[in-house]
Amino acid sequence: MIEALPPVLAHMKTLGHKVFTLGDYNLNLFGIRSQTARPDKFDDLLGCAYKKEGLWVVEYWPATTDPGAYHLKDAGARYGQEGSAVLAPGQYLGAYGIGPHGASKYEALTQQFAPVYVYRDANKDMVADAVGTLHRGWFGVNLHASSMRPYKDDGDRTDGDVGPWSGGCQVHATNHGFRRMMSLAKAQIDLHGAGWDKFTFTLLDQWY
């Protein structure tokens, strides 16, 4: 019998991306960038598809996959860059691991093991433009929370502005969603052990 994939994974497969299907808690982490992006809003999704006791589970969390207005208007000058980083759609195999993020050094999924591709948006408007020349490198494009202490706070920024929380990172709107993602990452490591501490992230443009 051919295994039926959840729709998001079936779409990933049509794009030629790798899909992890063997074993429980073999995580497929992904983002979906909205077609109708509202500037500076948490109107995208982060998610994870995995098996639990052999059955597919798919979870979605509100997020942004774009830099906020604070960074778009600065156009990367704060970091000596020519344009704000906008992560390019694609699959970043084994690029992420659990590591410290931000000034408070809380645990998040950080770019550790492989380069990623970004566009540079330098026009200083409120819209994140994923167009132009692709830049490949180590840009610290992490998957993190919209909080400096997400393991203690229960904030929800779903209806708020992205502001300074994303300079190109993939950022959860809720601390609950962020903590859930991190608990799944640790479940993968706890279940499978050494060698399972690398995570793949796939960014998709909304197709539905």
Residues 7-51: pLDDT tens digits? Answer: 999 999 999 999 999 999 999 999 999 998 788 999 999 999 999
Tell me if 52 sits within 8 A of 139, measured CB to CB. Answer: no
- Does 118 reside within a domain? yes
**Vertex 191, ends 186 and 196: CA angle to 5°?**
65
Helix H or strand E segment including 10: helix 7-14
pLDDT of residue 76: 62
- Does 2 reside within a domain? no
- SS3 at position 186: helix
pLDDT of residue 74: 75
- Does 69 reside within a domain? yes
Lowest-confidence region among 10-19, 74-83, 110-119: 74-83
Can you tell me the distance from the alpha carbon of 133 to that of 151, in angstroms, rounded to the nearest whole number?
37
- Does 122 reside within a domain? yes
Q: How confident is the model at residue 153 (pLDDT cuts 50, 70, 90)?
A: confident
Can you tell me the distance from the alpha carbon of 86 to that of 51, in angstroms, rounded to the nearest whole number?
30
Can you tell me the distance from the alpha carbon of 152 to that of 185, in angstroms, rounded to the nearest whole number?
19
Locate 50 and state its tokens: 């995995």
Can you tell me the distance from the alpha carbon of 91 to that of 172, in angstroms, rounded to the nearest whole number?
19
**Residue linked to tokens 């997020």:** 63
pLDDT of residue 79: 65
- Does 59 reside within a domain? yes
Tell me if 143 sits within 8 A of 106, measured CB to CB. Answer: no
Residue 64 above 90 pLDDT? yes
- Does 153 reside within a domain? yes
Distances (CA, A) of 32 to 37, 87, 113, 197: 11, 12, 22, 23
Q: What is the mean pLDDT of residues 150-159?
A: 88
Full residue range of the structural domain in which residue 137 is found: 7-205
pLDDT winner (highest mean) among 86-90, 122-126, 163-167: 86-90
When the pLDDT of each residue in the chain is averaged and rounded to a whole number, the result is 93
Q: How many CA atoms lie within 13 A of 39 on its CB side?
A: 11
- Does 35 reside within a domain? yes
- Does 27 reside within a domain? yes
- SS3 at position 189: helix
pLDDT of residue 80: 62
Residue 75 above 70 pLDDT? no
* Domains contained in the chain, number: 1
pLDDT of residue 100: 98
